[in-house]
Structure 1
Amino acid sequence: MNPLISIIVPVYNVEKYVQRCIESILNQTYKQIEVILVDDGSLDSSGVICEEYAFLDSRVKVIHKENGGLSSARNVGLDNAKGKFIGFVDSDDWIDSHMYESMLHLALSYQAEVVQCGYTLINGQGKITREIHFGDRRFDTKSEVEKAYYITNEFSSVVWNKLYKVELFEELRFKVGKNNEDVFILTDALLHIQRMVNTPKCHYHYLQRKESIMGAQFTEKKFDRLEAGEYLLQQCLLHSPQYQNWARIELCKICIFLYIDLMHSKNQIDQGYKNKLVSNFNLHFRTLKGSSELKQAKLVDKILLHSFSLNRSFTHYSYDLYRLVRG
């Protein structure tokens, strides 16, 4: 059995990186793939580079569209995918040559809807800054998958380090115009995942091109992260209420991270943004106080939440500790 894998690559102004990305996909040891390159209105030579690869390899399909953002490009890829399995690769990243062969073997062996691999974070100088590993384990029930998502962080909230059965996307699409789109769609997909397999191997290599949280311009779009956290809690309350306080812990952390982002922003910030974050934090932290979930939370998370509740001006010290411990 050699099922087709559709690998969807949104492309936008990445002429410096896209060749490495495409070649890493075409060099897969598993050959039954189609590579869907969605040129999202690039203003550089990215679209031309994509066409050159389509001319050289019949497995490559190029779709040109007006700029609509990452979610829009991924949705176009899903609409045109013919594979039994789906993968996503960002166009400035690259993957190991055996990534999809390895993950497909696990998917077929255990009849899993999702297989997830580890990944490396690469800085602009090409150096590995961190390796993210997941344990070599299976999740054989919906409850185990939910626990991995809400509690243990063994189900990461990014789409690109995974292989999916195409059926997961029959009625699911990415939310257009939102940042943190991965959280929205994975939270929805969670309802349909009965089995998942993790491999500890770091098959995916993620290039960190964006500015650091410290000193970056703050825009209202960053509040999409808060909306994603609120959506996570909303869906948890509807479908898995036993994990609601774990979702609240995550939401409180998002409020803190955004607040620190605001503190270090170079641009003038409306006080209303800070007030909204503090209000959201207080609402959910009141529910968490004294809960068994907060007592069971990792020490660094407890320090972060309690320090913010007591004295927000010193939170950045707790955040530095959090980053040191969690990476």
Structure 2
Amino acid sequence: MVKVSVLMPVYNLEDYIEHAMESLFNQTLKDIEIVCVNDGSVDNSLEVLNEFASKYDFIKVFSQENMGAGPALNKCIEEATGEYIAFLDADDIYVDDDALEKMYNWGVENNADMVAGNLKFVEGDDYKIVDADHYKRKLYRLCDKKTSISPDHYGIPYAFYKNIFKREFLNKHNIRFPPYKRGVDTLFLARALVNVERIYTIPVWLYGYNHAVGGGFNKKLSDYDFIRNFFKVFKGVFDIFYEAGFDKVAHEFKKELIMYFNFQDNATDWGIYQLVLEVFGEDGSYFEDFKPEYEVFVATQLINYVYENPTEEVYVKTKEEISEIELVHNKKSTEDLFKKAHLLMSSDSLPDFRQNYLEYSYLTIEKENEKLAKKVRSLKRKNSKINKELKKERNLNKSLINSSSWKLTKPLRAFKRVLKK
């Protein structure tokens, strides 16, 4: 049995595989296997993987039709034979060359089911290592010493790939990825967290996440099918945490979803609103612990929808629904939302509301334009001041060069340049 199986699902990442493999070859732990699953790539990813496998007998390559990240990762686990399981996406890298070795040794020493390291971001074609803002936001714990922690102290279930897991532990509790194309990692890690007794932490930087390729949370949600899957994953995580008594962690994780709801574009996307109702229910009880934020999201959606879909039926129904939402004392409500809600509730008819809404929107745009105009004028004044100072410096420099003292010291400056050489 090898010490660590490194699992690598691959989909259309031919330009990145070599960097990932190189970081693996640099690891001081040599008793590893690399299990790759090509998930129906249409580029040359499979050819690149097979070329590596032909050179190194510890690289195993499997291929399947495109089924998404979840099924690809599950296939990796099925084919793995290592004592511990580690993960590496083909567009990411490992950072510390001795990270896997240290994590494996720490795991064996403590018979640990889960060992946690740390995460960095990588940027650009040169794979520049930068700090991950996840730690600044305190999304999950920084592993700054060799110790053990309770699983509910890990943080929210992000960055599953900065950890290694005993394969026997994953199989015993049937911890697998959901059959989705995206967003599968959080549910996998949540299942691990509620089943592990202790997490053993060690101060190493294991994982380098290529943020530019992987993208942020909102970037990944490119269509409604993906969004539906993400919502199902979130709900699945919440249900798992609440059942296990991880209420505080569930609450912190729910903040991430609420933030997504209220991103500017999402707050007026009726399709997203419909998916929220479909997955989490129409009564809003699932978000009782974030009631003010959720009601702002609902009110924004409803008011925007009635304006975009001006039918009498929608108008009447929306007024009824808005009347049940308390926005006056809602500290999360904005002045703009409150004004629009007031226009709706005080209107006598649909045409009346639309006319008042248009007038209000026009005045709002006028105010924004005036703010921008003031900012432009301010920038022009600053630019003019900088140009005057630059001109002054140029004139001073020109005067200095033409001065007699500058000409007299020319031989001395030339002599100094010779000495420097």
The residue type paired with residue 59 of structure 2 is V
Residue 246 of structure 1, CA deviation:
4.0
Q: Counterpart amino acid of 1:311?
A: S
Question: Normalization by structure 1: what TM-score?
Answer: 0.75
The one of 178, 183, 188 equivalent to 2:186 is 183
- Summarize deviations over 1:97-141 as a string: whole Å, max 9, x none: 22210110110122211111111112335444423543324226x
5+ residue gaps in structure 1?
290-306, 316-327
TM-score, L = length of structure 2: 0.60
RMSD of equivalent CA atoms: 3.2
Confirm or deny: 8 A CA contact 1:226 1:255 kept in the other structure: no
Asked if structure 2 preserves the Cα contact closer than 8 Å seen for 1:225 and 1:254, the reply is no
Equivalent runs, 1:173-252 vs 2, <5 Å: 173-208=176-211, 209-211=213-215, 218-220=222-224, 221-240=226-245, 243-252=246-255
Contact 1:113 1:164 in 2 (8 A): yes
Aligned to 2:382: none
**2:158 is matched with which residue?**
157
| Distance (whole Å) between structure 1 residues aligned to residue 186 and residue 219 of structure 2 | 25
SS in 2 for 1:14: coil
Distance 1:260 1:288, change over 3 A: closer
1:134 aligns with 2:143: yes
Q: Deviations over 1:14-41 (max 9, x none)?
A: 1111011112112321111111111111
Deviations 1:73-103 (A, max 9, x none): 1111111111111111000011132221011
In structure 1, the residue matched to 2:170 is 169
- 1:296-325 deviations in whole A, cap 9, x for unaligned? xxxxxxxxxxx986216889xxxxxxxxxx
Q: What residue identity is the alignment partner of 1:234? A: D
Deviation at 1:44?
1.1
Judge which range, 160-169 or 247-256, deviates more.
Answer: 247-256
Q: Does 1:310 align with 2:332?
A: yes
Q: CA deviation at 1:280?
A: 7.9
Mean Cα deviation higher: 114-123 or 214-223 = 214-223
Find the counterpart in structure 2 of residue 112 from structure 1.
112
C-alpha spacing 1:55/1:108, structure 2 compared with 1 (3 Å): same
Q: Which residue of 2 aligns with 1:122?
A: 122
State the alpha-carbon separation in 1 of the partners of residues 87 and 264 from structure 2: 28
What SS class does the counterpart of residue 270 from structure 1 fall into? helix
Instruction: Compare the two structures and name the one with the higher helix fraction.
Output: 2
User: Is the contact between residue 4 and residue 85 of structure 1 (CA under 8 Å) also seen in structure 2?
Assistant: yes
- In the alignment, structure 2 segments of 5+ residues that lack a partner are 136-141, 292-328, 338-421
Distance 2:218 2:230 in 1: 17
Distance 1:287 1:86 in 2: 36
Letter in 2 for 1:76: K
Matched to 1:136, the amino acid is K
Q: For residues 108 and 92 of structure 1, what CA distance do their matches in structure 2 show?
A: 29
| Cα distance change on mapping 1:119 and 1:246 into 2, 3 Å | closer
Query: Which structure has greater strand proportion?
Result: 1
Structure 2 match to 1:59: 58
Report % sequence identity.
22
Bigger RCO (CA 8 Å, 6+ sep): 1
Quickly say closer, same or farther: Cα 1:104–1:42, change in 2 above 3 A. same
Q: CA deviation at 1:271?
A: 6.9
Letter matched to residue 186 of structure 1: L
Q: CA deviation at 1:259?
A: 2.9
